[in-house]
A and B are shown apart, each in its own frame.
Chain A
Amino acid sequence: MENDIFLRSLDLFKEAFPGRINQILKSKEEGKKIIGTLCLYVPDEIIYASGADRVILCGGKSAPIPAAEEYLPRNICPLIKSSFGSVIDQKCSKTKSCPHFGLVDLIIAEATCDGKKKMYELLNQYIPTHVMDLPQKPENQNALEYYIKELESLNDVLEKLTGNKITDVKLRNEIKSANETRKLLRALYELRKRDSPPIRGTEMLKVLQQMHFLSPDKFRKNLVLLLDELKVKKRENSGPRIMISGCPMASGNTKVPEIIENQGGLIVVEESCTGTRAFWDLVDENKEPMRAIAERYLKIPCACMYPNDRRIDQIIELARDFNVDGVVYYTLQFCHGYNVEKYRVAEALKKSGIPLLSIETDYSGADNEQIKTRVDAFLEMLE
C-alpha cells in the first residue's frame, strides 16, 4: 500500500530543472561548452574535468518520434527515435520541456548498439558528434587498454573544444565527487532492502532521471536532503516486491513502473541504466585516474557486450539482496540486445525459483490496458 507522507526533497529534484536550464544558458554565454551524451559508457568525470558542462540527451517522450521517422526506420527502438527527434525538431528544442537539446555544442556518442551507431551518423549532420568506440568483448586481454586509448582520444577532443587542460588533479576531484554521488545512491538503495521501504520505485526513477539534467553538485545536494528526510519521516510501503530489469527509462518514460505500482506492486530495485548500472561501482581513487575510470566504466553490464554473464549474475544477486518476489523484464520494442538476452536471464531466474514477467513496449499508451492485465495477473500470481 502507498504511504503518502510528503517528501519535500522529491519536489526539489523536479523544481531544480528550470533553474538548471537558466544556469546552462548563462554559462554558455560566458563561453562554457555544453556536451550532450546518450550513454553511461561515456565518463562524466572527463567531461567535467575539461570545464565543460553536460546534459544527457536520451529521449523518453513519444512526441518527437514522428519527426524522427522522416529519417529513421519505424522499426527501431523508441529511445533512438525520441532522442534523434528531440535534436532535429526545432519545435522541440524551443519548447520549455526540452530546451537543452538546442544548447549542445558537441555530442559525445558511443558505439553500443547498431541502431544508435547509425543514428549518430545522421545526428552528426545537425550537431558535431564524436563517437567513442567500445571494446564489445570486455573480458578480452586488451579490452581495457583499448578503452583507455578511446578515453585518451576523448580527452584530446574535449581539450581542443574547451581550450582547457584536463589535469590529473581535476580528474581526481571529479572522481571524488562522482563517487560521493554513487555512495549516496547506494545508501538510498540500501533503504529499499527493508521490509517496508520508505521510497517507491516510481519516486526513485524520477530522482534518477534528474541525474540526466541536473549539475552533479545540485543532484548530490538534493540526494543528501532526501536521505535526511527519509531518516526522520516514517514512511512505509508494501506490496509484492518487484525488480525491474532491462532497458533504460529515459526522462518522460515512467509508463511501466507506474502501472506496476498503481496495480499494487512495489518496485524495490532497478537493474537498468536508470538504476543500478548508473552508479553501482566506484572508481578506484588510489589508481592512476584514467585507468581507474576505464576499469569502472567497462564493468557496466550492458546487453551490447559479449559475453555478458556478469549481468545475469548481478540480476540474481540483486534479486536475493533486495528480497525480490518477482522480476519484470522490461524491454523497448526492437531493442535486440536486451530482447535476446531475456532468454538467458529467464533461464537463470527459473533456476533460482524467481518468477518473471516480460514486457516489451514503446512510449505510446496503446498497450496500457494489456500491460495492466499482465501485471495484475503477475501480482495475483505472486500473492
Chain B
Amino acid sequence: MISIGIDAGAATTKAVVLHENEIAGYAIIPTGFDFRKAGEAAYREVLSKSGMDETKVGKILATGYGRSIIGFADKTISEITAHARGVGYLIPAAHTIIDIGGQDSKVIITENGKVVDFLMNDRCAAGTGKFLEYTAKALEISLDELGMLAQVSKNPAKISSMCTVFAESEVISLRAQKTKKEDIAAGLIESIILRTTAMVKKLRIKPEVAFVGGVAKNPGVVKAFEKALDTEMQLPEEPQITGALGAALLI
C-alpha cells in the first residue's frame, strides 16, 4: 500500500507518494484557478512519476489552503502540522521552520516533531513569494535573476514600503533615480527578510533552522536570511514538498 499527501497551495499544488515510509515520487504543478482540478492533476502525475499503480493507493491526506476542496482525500490537516511532520522527517535536528510560500509566510517551532508554537502572516502579500514576484516584474526581471542579481549588490537600496503595491511604485522611483538594478534587487530581498525575521524573533529561534516553501529555492533570499539570523539554514533537497510529505506521513 502507498499513501499520498497533497498540498493544495495558493500558487502550486504538490503531491508526494510514500511507499514503505520512503518517498517514492513527487509532483509540483501550478494551481491555477481550480484547487480540485490541480489536486487531481498532481495526483495523476505523482502516480505516473513514481511508477505506482492506482490500485495500490491506500489513504490520501490533503493539506494547504485548498485542502477542503480536495474531495477525494480521506482526511485533511492544516499545513502547519503537515510542514512540521515533513521537515521532522527530512531534517530531524530542525526545531524552527520558516516557510515562505506564494501567499503566506509562517514560522513554526517544534519539540519532538510536534508543533508547540507558530505565527503566520497571511493577511497580505508583504513578506511572501507574491511580493518578490510583483516587484521583480517592476524591475523587468525573472525571480531567478532577482536572486542572482541581489548577490552581487554592494549597496542594497532601502525599500521602506512593506506593502507590495507601494513597494512596486518605490521600485519605479528608485529606477528613476538611477539606482543600480542589483541594489534594488538586494533591497527587495532585504525587505522580505526584515518582515520574516521579526516573526522568527517573536517566537525565538530554536536551532536548527529549516527553510522551506517556494521562496527557499531562491539562493539570494537564503543567503540574506542566514546573514540576518546569523545562523545557517537547513534546506531540504526539494523545499516545496515538505507539506505534502508531512500529510502523507500523517496518514
Contact = CB atoms under 8 A, between A and B. Distances in A.
Interface of A: 355, 367, 369-370, 373-374, 376-377, 380-381
Interface in B74-97: 77-81
Contact of B81 (A355, A369, A370, A381): A381
A370 B104 contact: yes
Given A377-B79, A377-B80, A380-B115, 10 more contacts: A367-B122, A369-B65, A370-B123, A373-B65, A373-B122, A376-B77, A376-B80, A377-B115, A377-B118, A381-B81
Main DSSP-derived SS at the B contact region: mixed
A45 B81 CA distance: 50
Interface of B: 65, 77-81, 104, 114-118, 120, 122-123
Given A380-B115, A381-B114, A381-B115, A373 B77 contact: no
Contacts of A381: 80-81, 114-116, 118
Nearest to A379: B78
A12 B191 CA distance: 54
A377 B82 CA distance: 9
A375 to B, nearest CB: 8
29 contacts: A355-B116, A355-B117, A367-B123, A369-B65, A370-B120, A370-B122, A373-B78, A373-B120, A373-B122, A374-B78, A374-B80, A374-B120, A374-B122, A376-B77, A376-B78, A376-B80, A376-B81, A377-B78, A377-B79, A377-B80, A377-B81, A377-B115, A377-B118, A380-B77, A380-B81, A380-B115, A381-B81, A381-B114, A381-B116
A331 to B, nearest CB: 13
Given A381-B114, A381-B115, A373 B80 contact: yes
A203 to B, nearest CB: 25
Nearest to B66: A369
Which 6 A-B pairs rank lowest in CB-CB distance, beginning with the nearest?
A377-B80, A376-B78, A377-B78, A370-B122, A380-B81, A381-B115
Contacts of B81: 376-377, 380-381
A376 B81 CA distance: 9
A380 B117 CA distance: 11
A380 B83 CA distance: 13
Contacts of A376: 77-78, 80-81
Contacts of A380: 77-78, 80-81, 115
Contacts of A355: 116-117
B172 to A, nearest CB: 25
Contacts of B80: 373-374, 376-377, 380-381
Contacts of B117: 355
A227 to B, nearest CB: 37
A356 B80 CA distance: 15
A380 B113 CA distance: 13
B117 to A, nearest CB: 7
A14 to B, nearest CB: 29
B79 to A, nearest CB: 7
Contacts of B120: 370, 373-374
Contacts of A377: 78-81, 115, 118
A381 B118 CA distance: 10
A355 B119 CA distance: 12
Nearest to A381: B115
A74 to B, nearest CB: 14
Nearest to B81: A380
Contacts of B116: 355, 381
Contacts of A367: 122-123
A163 B118 CA distance: 58
A374 B79 CA distance: 9
Nearest to A350: B117
A370 B80 CA distance: 12
A289 B65 CA distance: 56
Contacts of B104: 370
A101 to B, nearest CB: 30
Contacts of B65: 369, 373
A381 B77 CA distance: 11
A377 B80 CA distance: 6
Nearest to B250: A380
A301 B52 CA distance: 61
Nearest to A362: B123
Contacts of B123: 367, 370
A52 to B, nearest CB: 42
Nearest to B103: A370
B118 to A, nearest CB: 6
Nearest to A360: B123
Nearest to B10: A369
A370 B81 CA distance: 15
A53 to B, nearest CB: 41
A285 B195 CA distance: 54
A259 to B, nearest CB: 13
Nearest to A366: B123
Contacts of A374: 78, 80, 120, 122
A70 to B, nearest CB: 23
Contacts of B78: 373-374, 376-377, 380
Contacts of B118: 377, 381
B36 to A, nearest CB: 15
A367 B103 CA distance: 12
Contacts of A370: 104, 120, 122-123
A369 B9 CA distance: 13
A371 to B, nearest CB: 9
B21 to A, nearest CB: 21
A306 to B, nearest CB: 24
B224 to A, nearest CB: 26
A236 to B, nearest CB: 25
Contacts of A373: 65, 78-80, 120, 122
A103 to B, nearest CB: 37
